[in-house]
Structure 1
Amino acid sequence: MINIKEDEHLHVLNHSCAHLLAQAVKHLYPHAKFWVGPVITDGFYYDIDLGGDVLHEEDLPKIEKEMKKIAKDGKRIVRHEISKEEALEMFKEDPYKMDLISHMDEADTVISCYTQGDFTDLCRGPHVESVKELKHFKLLKVSGAYWKGDANNKMLQRVYGICFDSEEEVQNYLNFLEEAKKRDHKKLGRELDLFMMSEYGPGFPFFLPNGMILRNVLENYWYEEHTKEGYQFIKTPIMLSKELWELSGHWANYQENMYTTMIDDREFAIKPMNCPGGMLVYKNGLHSYKDLPLRVGELGQVHRHEASGALNGLFRVRTFTQDDAHIFMREDQIESEVVRLINFIDRVYSVFGLSYAIELSTRPEKKYIGSIEIWDKAEAALEAACHAAGKSCKINPGDGAFYGPKLDFHLTDSLGRVWQCGTIQLDMNLPERFDLTYVDADGSKKRPIMLHRVIFGSIERFIGILIEHYAGAFPMWLAPQQVVIVPVHHERHLAYAQQLEAMLLAKGVRVKVDGRNEKLGYRVREAQTHKIPMQIVVGDGEVENGTATVRRYGKKDSVTITKEELLESILNEIETKVRV
């Protein structure tokens, strides 16, 4: 999938189309006022105040028709540069533009606006040369959006759209949206009984039995793979005192996103991050240079107060489990440890069929701690580790955390969508704040280098990604129910079906017999609806010969094999984690 925001040509095209949308709306609703119309990953939107009017989906074709009329007229799009005073005068009747202008940096002595025909909008640009270039677009939906994203402000109407160079590209994108809609993890989560949400806890997901099986399998896999990599595991408290969060810096920088309470006249906060607890665990003992690198993992549940309008299924929640690990090491171990970590992350993602690209975010221009020399060394070490692991990395200048540079892993799913999940962050802040030390070979105390890292990112969000990546049809090792056995006739074939079930259950296979008094076709279709990886149908021939007739999810053909071949096939598929 193309990232429209990052594609220079499509970015300009879609931003210009946002202005075309605004001009059309102004023609149809002369009293309309406009906030902002940015380009986003999958197109553009414009936030609009229509006063008492309310837009509905059925109004979009009318707006599209006016947009096409304007585009056909072919007016040039002209840039003007004006002073701040001139801008305030020009937009004095528009409180939204006045707010934008008044909050501009003092350095912005010259402000740009763009005019196309009878419409002028405040904008930095750039734009296409003429509206006639904006022929192939589609308005997708309309929704509500608070001004500036603040629920205390007025609700505006947000119209989303896309723009491409050809009608074919528009149609391809609409087809993609249709497929993405089918894969919506909220929809499939309900249909497959994986998770639910409740008005009694907005943003706090409930995992249902099927979802808990999936979650437990993922977590067990995480523990198994980390054990192979030499990690130790801890569990830190979910609530810790205000003093700890002041020490870590979270109280000063993140307090508005934290849940707090009073206990015995002391203020406590539910953890939004696992790191400070991990620092206390490190400080609990003495450490020698011989102990390093020390790899400490924690599946830690955190809580963050996200805005209600940002909540989105499992993708944006208020409580989630981070697959955290903190690696403490000597400076000379940075490159080798990061190489090992990249190879580890590569192995994990490959199991799920997820490709990825790595991005190196470097020192911010202003807000950062530590010397430039240390930053340069840290950035060079991360880049060298990427190359040593046989990977390339795109430089993202100035986007590192204030405490150190980082490597971000951007995953691409089966629809070509990109998700940022894994990260490796080099931290020069917390070891200093918590006075972490180790005893070096000469007996002196030294500060360890520290890496924060996640692979899944969060268990909940990663499950949401997997649901959509697999369209709910999980590979055998992940599937909540791996096998369903369907006896053709209840009385004649049920006992043999139960024998097969007992054989598979004894080997840990998640299997059930569907012996309901329903037609065979109905039960087979239901197994397909529930996306169970393997169906086994048993009738007279299977009972007589001790065989099983196997049909895979999504396949029309079936094959008859012996019980022994069946068991070997299933166990091998689970063990190797292959996707058939």
Structure 2
Amino acid sequence: MKVPAGTTAGEAVAGAGLPNKGPEAIVVVRDAAGELRDLSWAPESDVEVEAVPADSEDGRGVIRHSAAHVLAQAVQDTFDDAKLGIGPPVKDGFYYDFDVDRPFTPDDLRALEKRMKQIIKSGQKFSRRRLDSVEEARAELADEPYKLELVDLKSDVDTDEVMEVGGGELTVYDNVDRHGEVVWGDLCRGPHVPHTRYLPAVKLMRVAAAYWRGDQSNQQLQRIYGTAWESKERLDEHLEWLAEAERRDHRRIGAELDLFSFPDEVGSGLPVFHPKGGIIRRELEDYSRKRHEQAGYEFVYSPHITKDALFKTSGHLDWYKDGMFPAMHLDEELDADGEVRKPGQDYYLKPMNCPFHNLIYRSRGRSYRELPLRLFEFGSVYRYEKSGVVHGLTRVRGMTQDDAHIYCTPDQLQEELKSLLGFVLDLLRDYGLEDFYLELSTRNEQKYVGDDASWDLATEALREAAASSGLELVPDPGGAAFYGPKISVQARDALGRSWQMSTIQVDYHLPELFGLEYTAPDGSKQRPIKIHRALFGSIERFFGVLTEHYAGAFPAWLAPVQVVGIPIADEHVEHLREVADRLRAEGLRVEVDAGDERMQKKIRTHTTQKVPFQLLAGGQDVESGAVSFRFRDGSQINGVPVDDAVAALTGWVRRRENASPTAENFPVVEPA
């Protein structure tokens, strides 16, 4: 769309007949440089622009930023002493930080949301105004100490916060009422929607504490989170999505299904797995072991602690020490006078398995004929995550990684990466994850070791392997570890959320540090290339992700209890026990509920516990040598001969079907 010189973008939008109401309403435009501009923007010469609708990601970002201004206005209308922090849009919403005398309460949130709706209904305009100097800004914002601090940052062009305030200039957005009176304003870069009626669906969500500019040495502020959408329908969908995410929260499900817990006596981020959780974890690990054996991996084991010299050699004490638990000073010996006879040394809990695998490789001479050498370990590692970051199983301090390190020649690198990526994706699919994309993390220019040439070779090798997969590749500039670039497999779960799963890193550096060699065909000593690979990332995190993906209704092959027998009356118990014995002989996990509760109560209990198969039996089933199936969704198949039932159940579990069985998809007679 063209915006002629001297014409506002809004006038051009109207002239083009583009919508100004509803989810497709144009809220801003994007100029040729990619910058978003208000509809009140009038270029000095003719320009081509792209119209940005409310229901696009950029459009929603503008809506949410505008909603944050309305929130700030509502807060200062309600709390005279409130001082403003910052209020950016974030994923699915916005927040604004305030310095107030007391924390906000739930009643405050309800009152503020009501005031926001009044402001929105009044149709205030967002009007951009340029400040001519820092001095003018200081005078206007004299009562806003945090805004004054941002203004002062404008004089330091090297400070990132400059771009948060207004790019190359200082600007204010005024909220102007229907009478043309400025009723509120905020230092802001923009852009914003034309007026508040473009904010049809806003809701405040929660309050949290936050430190000014993220620094704990600064003042603690009150942060209000909200969400805003282009329509009431999209808001309702989002709220339902949030409710479903809450229902799937692995911490709640873990307690309800008796899978794991986090005892205070053990410590933050250190889970213990209960018997039922232990079954699921064992199945996850056992299947992974089987697939690794088939793919030519060799299993190794390493201790949980080591002398500090190992991590000095690897560089972890230089680059990763903040993520490690403090040292344990051991082995010191004193004489009878208390004098040190033998000095002690520092030991560390290991945060990584890879240095140990280097020692295994180096333990004897290696030939090119042994390469690629694939070492694999379920290795427990420990990382000192800050308490505010620890979250259930998905961010822990003690974890078990399914860690592999592949040592190969340069000629083998590309084929090994492609094969490895295929192996990773196939194995994740076996656990029921299907929707993937890849992320390529490149060098952090402030935190890396090694030479440019090896980094370039490693990065291009990963890029080529990623391209061969056919999956979308998203750049992650600066996200690599200090020793090499990586590809991470991002998997979307049942709610569409992305989780980082497997990582594949190419490392030229650590083989150099550890002096790793192999004898080449010509007898020369050559340096191998090392590939780091974690498939689950960690067993704990993968367990948490799968719990939420399946909402606790694990596939039958993973379920702690796969089959439960429920008799209609006591005289039917023995029949079900005989069926259970046959299923156990086939390796299935079976229980018979012979308790005193009524049958319907038992059905509700085991449905709540998400058991995939319930076998019911009454007098007619006993007489005909049959059972009736009941599934999680409440559907049933009645009168299935026991032989067919055993064959169908055994086949379903052995095939590792990931679908939840129902009367429609479960074959009661196994095909020949």
Greater Cα offset, 139-148 or 333-342: 139-148
Alignment partner, residue 248 of structure 1: 314
Q: Which TM-score applies when normalising by structure 1?
A: 0.92
Bigger drift between 327-336 and 428-437 goes to 428-437
Distance 1:210 1:149, change over 3 A: farther
Partner of 2:45 in structure 1?
A: none
Aligned residue for 1:414, secondary structure, equals coil
> How far is 1:558 from its partner?
2.5
Match of 2:431 among 352, 374, 380: 352
Residue number in structure 2 paired with 1:220 = 286
Please say if 1:22 is aligned against 2:102.
no
Q: Which residue of 2 aligns with 1:319?
A: 398
Report whether the alignment pairs 1:230 with 2:324.
Answer: no
Using a 3 Å threshold, how does the CA distance of structure 1 residues 183 and 249 change in structure 2: closer, same or farther? same
Matches within 5 A, 1:188-207: 188-200=253-265, 201-207=267-273
Q: Residue 304 of structure 1 aligns with which residue?
A: 383
- Residues 508 and 145 of structure 1, relative CA distance in 2, 3 Å threshold: farther
* 1:538-557 correspondence to structure 2 within 5 Å: 538-557=617-636
- Aligned match of 1:455 in 529, 535, 553? 535
Given candidates 106, 114, 136, the residue that maps to 1:65 is 114
> Residues 507-545 of structure 1: CA distance to partner in whole angstroms, max 9, x if unpaired?
221110100011111011111110000000111122222
State the partner residue of 2:492: 412
Task: Map Cα deviations across residues 23-55 of structure 1 (whole Å, 9 max, x no partner).
Answer: 32222223223444344333222333212x221
TM-aligned CA deviation for residue 59 of structure 1: 2.1
Match of 1:159 in 2: 224
Q: 1:317–1:102: structure 2 CA closer, same or farther, 3 Å change rule?
A: farther
**Residue 506 (structure 1) shift:** 1.7
Shift of 1:420: 1.4
Residue 13 to residue 276, structure 1, CA distance change in 2 (3 Å)? farther
Aligned partners of 2:194 and 2:522: how far apart in 1? 68
Which is worse superposed, 340-349 or 511-520? Answer: 340-349
* CA distance in structure 1 between the partners assigned to 2:124 and 2:490 by the alignment: 40
Structure with more relative contact order (C-alpha pairs < 8 Å, separation 6 or more): 1
Measured in 1, the distance between the counterparts of 2:595 and 2:407 equals 57
CA offsets, 1:530-568, max 9 Å, x none?
000000011112222221111121132223222221221
Q: Which residue of 1 aligns with 2:125?
A: 75
2:275 corresponding residue in structure 1? 209
- The answer to whether structure 1 residue 565 and structure 2 residue 644 are counterparts is yes
In structure 1, what is the equivalent of residue 173 of structure 2? Answer: 115
- Distance in 2 of aligned mates of 1:18 and 1:179: 26
The equivalent residue for 2:467 is 387
Matched with 1:186 is 251
Determine the C-alpha separation between the residues in 1 that align with 2:97 and 2:526: 53
Residues 198 and 522 (structure 1), Cα distance of their counterparts in 2 relative to 1, 3 Å cut: same
For residue 364 of structure 2, give the secondary structure of its aligned residue in structure 1: coil
Deviation per CA, 1:464-507: give whole Å up to 9, x if none: 111111111111001011010011111x1111121111111122
* C-alpha distance after superposition, 1:77-98 (max 9, x if no partner): 4264676676666656555445
Which residue of structure 2 lines up, in the alignment, with residue 441 of structure 1? 521
Q: Deviations over 1:121-179 (max 9, x none)?
A: 45555544444433321111223345565666654322221111111111110111111
- TM-superposed CA distance for 1:189, in Å, is 0.8
Counterpart position of 1:483: 563
1:273 and 2:352 are equivalent in the alignment: yes
Q: Where do 1:465-476 residues align within 5 Å? A: 465-476=545-556
- How big is the shift at 1:332? 1.7
**Would you say the 8 A contact 1:114–1:123 is kept in 2?**
yes
Distance 1:573-1:253 versus aligned 2 partners, 3 A rule: same
Q: Distance in 2 between matches of 1:31 and 1:343?
A: 59
1:278-321 CA distances to partner (integer Å, 9 max, x unpaired)? Answer: 22222222222221111111111111222222222112221111
Please tell me whether the aligned partners of residues 369 and 428 of structure 1 are also in contact (alpha carbons under 8 angstroms). Answer: no
Q: Contact between 1:16 and 1:128, CA under 8 Å: does it hold in 2?
A: yes
1:526 corresponds to: 605
1:272 match: secondary structure: coil
Cα pair 1:113 1:120 within 8 Å, conserved: no
- 3-state secondary structure, aligned to 2:270: coil
Give the drift of 1:213.
0.7
Distance 2:285 2:191 in 1: 47
Identity %: 41
One-letter amino acid of the counterpart of residue 49, structure 1: D
Separation of aligned partners in 1, 2:173 and 2:197: 14
Pair 1:56 & 2:105 matched: yes
Task: Please show how residues 144-155 of structure 1 align to structure 2 within 5 Å.
Answer: 144-147=209-212, 155=220
**What is the CA distance between 1:217 and its match in structure 2?**
0.7
CA distance in 2, matches of 1:84, 1:451: 53
Distance 2:186 2:274 in 1: 50
Matched to 2:158, the amino acid is A
Change in CA separation of 1:221 and 1:35 when aligned onto 2, cut-off 3 Å: farther
Change (3 A) 1:221 1:59: same
Q: How many residues are paired up?
A: 574
Change (3 A) 1:103 1:224: farther
Contact 2:302/2:353 (CA < 8 Å) preserved in 1?
yes
The 2-side partners of 1:85 and 1:251 are apart by 47
| Kept in 2: contact 1:77–1:131 (CA 8 A) | no
Q: Deviations over 1:332-375 (max 9, x none)?
A: 22221111112112212222332111122233455444444433
SS at match of 2:251: helix
Q: Decide whether the 8 Å contact of 1:363 with 1:400 is kept in 2.
A: yes
Determine if the alignment matches structure 1 residue 262 to structure 2 residue 312.
no
Across the aligned residues of Structure 1 and Structure 2, the Cα RMSD in angstroms comes to: 2.5
Structure 1 residues 517 and 29: alpha-carbon distance in aligned structure 2, compared to 1, 3 A threshold: same
Give ranges in structure 2 of 5+ residues lacking alignment.
1-53, 163-167, 176-182, 332-343, 662-672
The farther-off stretch of 400-409 and 291-300 is 400-409
8 Å Cα contact 1:84/1:111 also seen in 2:
no
Q: 1:571 to 1:456 in 2, by over 3 A?
A: same
Which of 517-526 and 385-394 deviates more? 385-394
Q: 1:276 offset after TM fit, Å?
A: 1.8
Counterpart-to-counterpart distance in 2, 1:174 and 1:366: 41
The answer to whether the Cα contact below 8 Å between 2:627 and 2:642 also exists between their aligned partners in 1 is yes
Partners in 2 of 1:323 and 1:370 — Cα distance? 26
Q: CA deviation at 1:390?
A: 3.5
1:294 matched to 2:373? The reply is yes
Correspondence for 1:133: 198
Return 10-19 or 456-465, whichever deviates more: 10-19
Of 377-386 and 128-137, deviating more is 128-137
Instruction: Give SS of 1:350's match.
Output: helix
Whether the 8 Å contact between 1:68 and 1:135 is mirrored in structure 2 is: no
2: CA distance, partners of 1:129 / 1:285: 72
CA distance in 1, matches of 2:360, 2:72: 56
Provide the residue aligned with 1:13 in structure 2: 63
Counterpart code for 2:294: K
| Counterpart-to-counterpart distance in 2, 1:500 and 1:166 | 55
1:442/1:120 CA distance change after superposition, 3 Å? farther
Describe the SS at the equivalent of 1:320. Answer: strand
Q: Could you tell me whether the CA contact under 8 Å between 2:311 and 2:355 is conserved in 1?
A: yes
